[in-house]
Amino acid sequence: MSAGAVQILGRVGIPVDFRPSKAVAVTPDDSNDLAEAPSILYIGVSGNVKVDLAKEGTVTYIAVPVGFLKVYVKRVHATGTTATNIISHGK
């Protein structure tokens, strides 16, 4: 890898050396952003996850398995989210 290059996980642009400073339980909310944004999410029980991305856009990820959803988000919507036991990992 060349000097200054950043290794990423998959195609999502999360640096391998990402070290979250906080972990907070998420209550999905259609109106309010996460307290620690941008964040990546841990999904404890699989399902759909509707989020506002950190930079721009809203997307619903369908049938997200248990594990990390490796995108930076600023909001997890109540409407459209069926996954549960979600934990936010902020920078």
- Cα separation of 52 and 88, whole Å? 13
Q: Please check whether residue 79 lies inside any domain of the structure.
A: yes
- Cα separation of 5 and 16, whole Å? 12
Percent of the chain topping pLDDT 90: 55
Predicted confidence (pLDDT) per residue in 29-56, tens digit: 999 999 888 888 999 999 999 999 998 9
Q: Please check whether residue 4 lies inside any domain of the structure.
A: no
13 vs 25, residue with greater confidence = 25
Cβ-contact 50, 79 below 8 angstroms: yes
How many domains does the structure of the chain reveal? Answer: 1
Domain that holds residue 53: 18-90
- Cα separation of 34 and 74, whole Å? 6
Q: Please check whether residue 68 lies inside any domain of the structure.
A: yes
Q: Please check whether residue 65 lies inside any domain of the structure.
A: yes
Residue 18: count other Cβ atoms within 10 Å of its Cβ: 14
pLDDT, mean of residues 4-13? 41
What mean pLDDT, rounded, does the chain reach?
Answer: 83
- Cα separation of 53 and 71, whole Å? 8
- pLDDT value for 81: 97
At residue 6 the predicted structure's pLDDT band, cuts being 50, 70 and 90, is very low
